[in-house]
Amino acid sequence: MKQARRYLLAALLGYGLLGAGMPSMAQVQAFPSKPIKLIVPFGPGSGTDTSARYFGRKLQELTGQPVVVENKAGANGFIAVKQVLSAPADGYTVFIGSNSTLAVNAALFRHLPYDPLTDFAPLTMMMRSPAMLAVAPQAAYSDLKGLISHARANPGKVNFGAGSAGYQLMGELLNDTARIETVHVPFKGAGETTTAVASGTVDYTFAEVTAVQELARGGRVKILAVASDKRVSTSPEIPTATEAGLPGFEAYTWVGAMVSAKTPAAETARLAELFTAISKMDETRAFYERLGAIPMTGGPAQMHEFQKNEIALWKRIVVKAKVPLQ
């Protein structure tokens, strides 16, 4: 508990909130004074849920207040978003969103019922997890160059599976980067998709580290590359896309914390300090490294800029790939 308090104090000093004329520590700590809800747009066990539960435990340690994680899955995240934006904007309801709800939806939906940039106030980035490109173990190609060569020789005949819009756009990003033409096959989720790849029903897929690395170790799929600038600590034998012959190709899922944009500035700033302090803990880095993920430590301004860039990227891919808007 004392260590957690020291992290918070360091964060407050870093933000310049303990200087002359600023609130005292006791005043700053007046909020929160009751339980906090973390709303997750996916079910238990997802990467977003795992992050929410970890940050929830640390947030409870820092504040002494109960923190409850609520899973509101379905409808492309709209159910969770509606709950957050319709709740009192007092800082006690936090949205733990992902690349799909906070960026991809903005690119894919013609009439999105919320604006990821203006309806929310960012608190901090939490983590990002590089995507892995997996194929069937019996695939004729043994590396990424082989897959790309095969796709170029068979335009429109190679397909990739995706269990969500985010992974669909990663497939389209590969098409754009590698200058290939492959066909998207939709599935209901990551489990269905990896099963289809393992059986050879589809040629390849992108999936998060935790969804495929154990399958690869069991010989059910073969991983050709990780779409990251560095190899994954839990699977150091897997080359990056650059090492595998596709320079600069990167694709991540990511998680970040938000509150309603109507939340008062003082409460928003306090939550940002708390979440940012947690993101910078050595314990947090170790937690994510065990999952093959990467902790992210940017505060509100950095998260807002990152989110804008992500939306712009996926909008460009949607237009270039002529993905039908929903």
3-state SS of the chain?
Answer: CHHHHHHHHHHHHHCCCCCCCCCCHHHHCCCCCCCEEEEECCCCCCHHHHHHHHHHHHHHHHHCCCEEEEECCCHHHHHHHHHHHHCCCCCCEEEEEEHHHHHHHHHHCCCCCCCCCCCEEEEEEEEEEEEEEEECCCCCCCCHHHHHHHHHHCCCCCEEEECCHHHHHHHHHHHHHHCCCCEEEECCCHHHHHHHHHHCCCCEEEEEHHHHHHHHHCCCCEEEEECCCCCCCCCCCCCECCCCCCCCCCCEEEEEEEEECCCCHHHHHHHHHHHHHHHCCHHHHHHHHHCCCEECCCCHHHHHHHHHHHHHHHHHHHHHHCCCCC
| pLDDT value at 25 more than 70 | no
Tell whether the model's pLDDT for residue 20 goes beyond 80: no
Lowest mean pLDDT among 2-6, 115-119, 266-270, 308-312: 2-6
Total-model pTM: 0.85
Instruction: Give the pLDDT of residue 84.
Output: 98
> Is the pLDDT reported for residue 109 higher than 80?
yes
pLDDT reported for residue 2:
47
pLDDT band at 17 (very low <50, low <70, confident <90, very high): very low
Confidence of residue 224 (pLDDT cuts 50, 70, 90): very high
What pLDDT band is residue 188 in, cutting at 50, 70 and 90? confident
Confidence of residue 29 (pLDDT cuts 50, 70, 90): low
The pLDDT mean for the chain works out to: 90
pLDDT over 90, % of the chain: 79
Convert the pLDDT of each residue in 190-199 to its tens digit.
889 999 999 9
